[in-house]
Amino acid sequence: MRNRSLHVGAWLLVALAVIAVAAPLLLPDPDRVDYTAKLAPPGATHLLGTDRLGRDLAARLAAGARTTLGSVGAVWLVSVAIGLLAGTLSALAGRLAHETVARVVDVALALPQTVVALAVAGAIGPGMWQLVFAMSATAWAPTARLAHTYVHAARERPDVLAARMAGIGTVRAMAAHVLPGASARVVVVATLGVGQLILSLAALSFLGLGAQPPTAEWGRMLADSRHDVIAAPWLIIAPTTAVFLAVTAVSLLADGAREHIDPGSRSWPRF
């Protein structure tokens, strides 16, 4: 298989996940304040240096990876699960359910994700889980529409019709013939949105609307140390690189996966 972006993206993501999980074993406590070592440059004791409170930057980056991967993973899971469920059921159900889901999807698609997040933060206050909730509220719409279209079209497909004529029930025919293709596409479309999601979450956290101190989060880390970046440039290089690598990893992975299941297509929704 010659799909370079799929491989590079997958390995990058695995590397990030390994760092996120293994860091607590190898690096110092990300929240440990040490005033004798504030703004220390990268070196042997502090691999990537420290911030103005003397906290180890490498450890905080890894903790930030856990925050980001966790919250992004939650939104991704919601958009896959709800999207697949709502899209499939509405395609198989009667006209009323079909119309209801279609209208709700229309509204959810027409609401910009970050604006919804800002609104929710304004009503119930800032926080990472508030953001995850707000982002999930619209993230399931593109996947639901895709699943709906796919399943609806598949009802008339020759292999499905043949299965039905052989006496196989709707549920089993769908599960065996339609669901695998539908889930693969839903997973890819959900993943296509993750790069933008990482950037949005980091930007909202940078504004103080996401992760609250002392939780380490990449956007928040840069916001907290932005007045130190001339004296200590590692404080901007490290979190920016982290965001950049994470976005690059999922974008490569998603593009590669799309190319894998639907070669030559560039017409997929990207939200």
Partner 1 sequence: MPAPLRRLASALAVLATAGALVWGLMLLSPVDPARQILLAQGDPAPAPAEVDATRHELGLDRSYPEQYARWLTAAVRGDFGTSWRTGDPVAAELAGRLPATIRLTLVALLFATAVALALALPGLERPGGPADVFARGLVFGGSALPVFAVGVVLLEFVVVGAGIGRVVADGTWSGALLPALPLALGIGAEWARVLRGGLRDALGAPHSETARARGAGRLRILALHGLPHAAAPFLTVAAMSAGGLLAGAAVVETLFTWPGIGRLLITSIDAGDLPVVQAIVLLGVVAFLAANLLAETLTAAIDPRRREKR
Which residues lie near partner 1 (CB under 8 A)? 106-107, 110-115, 117-126, 195-196, 199-200, 202-204, 206-209, 219, 222-223, 226-227, 229-230, 236, 239-240, 243-244, 247-248, 251, 266, 270-271
Distances (CA, A) of 179 to 150, 173, 176: 10, 9, 6
158, HSE (Cβ side, Cα atoms, 13 Å): 0
CB of 226 to partner 1, least distance (A): 5
d(CA 79, CA 74): 9
| Residue placing its CB nearer to partner 1 in the complex, 88 or 205 | 205
Q: For residue 182, count other CB atoms closer than 10 A to its CB.
A: 24
Retrieve residue 146's tokens: 């895709």
**Cβ-contact 42, 48 below 8 angstroms:** yes
**Cβ-contact 195, 252 below 8 angstroms:** no
CB of 162 to partner 1, least distance (A): 31
CB of 229 to partner 1, least distance (A): 5
> What is the torsional sign of CA 243, 246, 248, 250?
negative
Radius of gyration for the alpha carbons in the chain, expressed in angstroms and rounded: 22
Locus of tokens 């209208």: 103
| Residue placing its CB nearer to partner 1 in the complex, 63 or 194 | 194
| Residue placing its CB nearer to partner 1 in the complex, 22 or 115 | 115
Please provide the size of the chain in residues: 271
CB of 209 to partner 1, least distance (A): 7
CB of 233 to partner 1, least distance (A): 9
Q: For residue 177, count other CB atoms closer than 10 A to its CB.
A: 19
Helix axes 4-26, 57-92, angle to 10 degrees: 130
CB of 172 to partner 1, least distance (A): 34
Give the three-state DSSP class for 158.
Answer: helix
| Residue placing its CB nearer to partner 1 in the complex, 25 or 110 | 110
| Residue placing its CB nearer to partner 1 in the complex, 41 or 122 | 122
| Residue placing its CB nearer to partner 1 in the complex, 10 or 236 | 236
| Residue placing its CB nearer to partner 1 in the complex, 97 or 223 | 223
CB of 52 to partner 1, least distance (A): 14
